[in-house]
Structure 1
Amino acid sequence: MAERRHLSLRHLTWICLVAVSLVFLAVSAASIIGRSTVARSVHELSGHVFSVQNDVEALRRAYTDQETGQRGFMLTGNPVSLQPYLAGADATGPLIAGLGADFAGDERGRWLVDSVASAAAIWRSTAAEPQIAARKAGPLASDELARMALQGKQIFDDLRGHLRELAGYSNDMAQAQLQRINAAQRTANVIQGVGVAVLAVVVVIALVTVRRRLSRPVDELLEEVKAVADGDYDQPIHPTGPRETAELARAVEQMRLSLRASTDRLVDSELRDEQARIAADLHDRVIQRVFGLGLGLTSAAARRNLDLEGFIDETDAIIHDLRLVVFNLHHAISVPTRSTRMRSAIIDVVEGSVAALGFTPALQFEGPIDGANVRPEAHAAALAVVRESLSNVARHAQATAASVNVTITSADFRITVRDNGIGVSGGDTMGNGRRNIETRAENLGGSATIHNTSPGAGAVVEWAVPLDPG
């Protein structure tokens, strides 16, 4: 299986920084575009629409001045009264031309300006100029003045209506531009708000990523290293997190394996020395004394005609067993293996569970326990399986008896733990301890099952892993 690739801390940092920076730049660009749109709309309003409104208002005043000057001259005949008329006439020409240019691309606006100019020309040609000429010729009768005034007013009212339409259109232009400005402002605000929200989400994602990819692996590494430092040499160090922490974890794992191997060699050496001493004591003292006891029993039976055959047979069996123990001790000393501590370690685990269980489990070994090619990982896993199985019995089974059977075959290494408790139900067969039992087997290429022997007759844990082919 290919080794999992780890991002380096530098790459992780750069990815987070680039992501936050890109989102920030996008938000800033969107905000700038929105503000620029608002600025252009405001400039359009102030530079064009307001100018059109001012010119329309100036044109209305110019025509009003003309009409006022014309009526004043008709009433008084004084040439001074014609000054507003003449001044208004001079102003209307440039204003009409300017408005025509302002509405060059606006068909409706240009039509309104043309209609004002046409209405003004009709008023001047049919009312204002003929009446001024008639008044300059001499005084007019009152009924004639009244007729001319009424005629001029009716024609000028039509011009005034066109001026109102033009003013209303310019006001509509201003209102439409204000609405565009408001819409652009709202859009800019929405874009900015969404951008800030997206930026916040990206920052949160970056923080979660840093926590998941850096902080959590570092915390887990510290816990595993602390466990090893406290003496749990079977605790593996997993290479997780950025490349730097993964490399550090691999280095610590190598150190742990070396330390465990050195410790095993030291303990095995001490154990072989102790086995040699025990073998010598058994051979030189215990076996000889038991052998002498057997001879004494045989002699006593012969002299006193006693039936001591049973005792003598038992003595011979004891001598046989002791010699077998001595042979096994010498064999363990002469052929040390990686599993030299297996038997004693399992015994320690079983004896250590007595206080919690309230009884002593039966323990049986089958096969060359101290001579098989059991991998160090399987060795550690086996101790954990026995410990967790007995712990489950103590906590859940309500058992009064249990047994542990450790078997070495030609192909695999098996552990079977039985109890006479209440068994397991479908809801609790996958607790943490039991799940660990299955996981430890699967990680080593083996299998594990946890089931009831029969209803109300207790549970059995069957755990098996293959031996090291080397």
Structure 2
Amino acid sequence: MLSRAWPQTLRWRVYALVCGLLLLLLVTAAATTVSRFYATSVGNHVRGSLRPAQQSAAALSKDYVDMETGARGFLLTRDDTFLAPYESGHADMAQQEQQLRGLLSFDETSLGLLDGVRAAGETWQRQSIEPDIAAARDGTLAPAPPMTDALAAKQTFDRVRASLAELQAHINELTAVGLQQSTDAQNAANIVTIVCAALALVLGAVTVLLLRGSLDAPLRKLLDQVQRVSDGELDHGVDVSGPAEVAELGHAVETMRVRIISETGRATEASDQLVRLEETDRIAGELGDTVIKRLFAIGLALQSATARFPVAAQVFARAVADLDQAINQLRSSLYGQIPLTAGQSLGMAVQTLVSELETGVGVVPELVLTGDLDRELPDDVVTAVLGVLHDVLGALLTPGRPDPVEIGLTRENGVIRLRADGPAPESTATLESLGERARLLSGDGRVDYEGDRVVIDWWLPV
């Protein structure tokens, strides 16, 4: 029960660690994204609103100074050229105020200070500048204004300066706060990223240690045992302990080891039996070739005796027929029956026979058929040709030997001729009996050896 619960606990621990890593990665990504988004937003606010507001406030202050300087120069000289700074400053002042209202729309205090600047500027222009400029153009302004009027004009413009200074100070303060917030947000994002990365490293290290101690060690132990079995130590048992998956694999390897031992024993017995059967077949084949050769010789002797003793010709012919039947039965028992389907031509039967032997042996012979092999052929001739071709191919086609084999079957001028060229077989008993088998049907045959190859020329009259 404990051995079943332990792997499950290990599996759930691994699942929990992996899920924790994934969750930590998600939290890290979310926290970092939010922090950096906030830092970017604050930075964009400083760059897009506060910095331009600082520049616009400085431009507005310069416009008021230009207006005051131009107006004072005109009042002293009565030269309209000095009014150019006043008029350009007055035109730009309206534009700067409008721009500041758009940039500082998020802060009511800034808008209030901007209203104060505008009110002070309008009071200064209405009470001190515009009446004096109009009187100077009409010629009603005294060359030297009274001291009290000059002092009042100065105080009025000082209030404009003070309002502008207060607005600029407030904008500078907002900018400083925004920069600090951006820096704090960036630092917070960096700290969150570092902390989450450290936690991920710790959790990953714990996961690796747990897997190495609980899974890697049993797996390496099993691998070492499997290696020993694969090296031939079949008597070395395989441990099936460890996590469920490793234990299942070890059990499968142990089962395979036991089965290999059992199959090896049975395979040894089967191999010994196969060797005995092959030896028996070899002996039977050689004995059969010898017997067939002897029977052919007896048949030839009886045919020769028929010519010398015509009185006993009928008896000898009967004996020769019995010998032919015995030879065919013996060949069928040793090499198998060579069937010929009803209506099938000799050429088709030869191709079928070569194809079957080619499939069984794995060697591809070169077959050449010439002449009319499809009609008016006696059954005994067809049977003899197929039997001889079967024996020739069986002797020349050897598994595992890629030596070429050439087979030619020709019918012309009332003769069927079989020619074969291939590697010389180890046993020549079958080939040496071909001539005697042809002479039983009034034909002949010759076997020539050229080095390690053999050339067969065998023919029958039709």
Length-normalised TM-score, structure 2: 0.48
| Larger Rg over CA atoms | 2
Length-normalised TM-score, structure 1: 0.48
